[in-house]
Structure 1
Amino acid sequence: MSLNELITFYILLNGWQRRIFLNQTNDNPQDTRFTAFLVNFGIGLLHHFQENKIGEFVQIFVIGYAVIS
């Protein structure tokens, strides 16, 4: 597993921790949308890492961080 993949999985794991520990219930639609976004975001990161498009990755990361924060 490459360093880029480890970073991606860390981002996903951090998001799951936010979901589990900050939102204990599963009946919050905003929580579900956040999880779905997080999974798609991680898949997008892996795709761009595989193609070594670091510039596009930085743009995706900044936009994604702005959306979830």
Structure 2
Amino acid sequence: VLSFQLHLLSVQFGYLSFQLYRRFCQFCHQSFQLYLLSVQFGHLSFQFCRQSFQLYLLSVQFCYL
């Protein structure tokens, strides 16, 4: 009976560790998605800054015409 209880405990422990591992994988996946989003956002803001700087240069050239 004791060995059967130990077997049940090990099965429950394995199931719990599997659940924890799955949660950890989901967390890693979500954080990677967030990282990708932040990289895209940084790229977009860089493009926006570059465009606005080019517009600024154009307006300065236009003023000196």
TM-score with structure 1 length normalisation?
0.36
Higher relative contact order structure (alpha carbons within 8 Å, sequence separation ≥ 6): 1
Q: Which has the higher helix share?
A: 2
TM-score with structure 2 length normalisation?
0.38
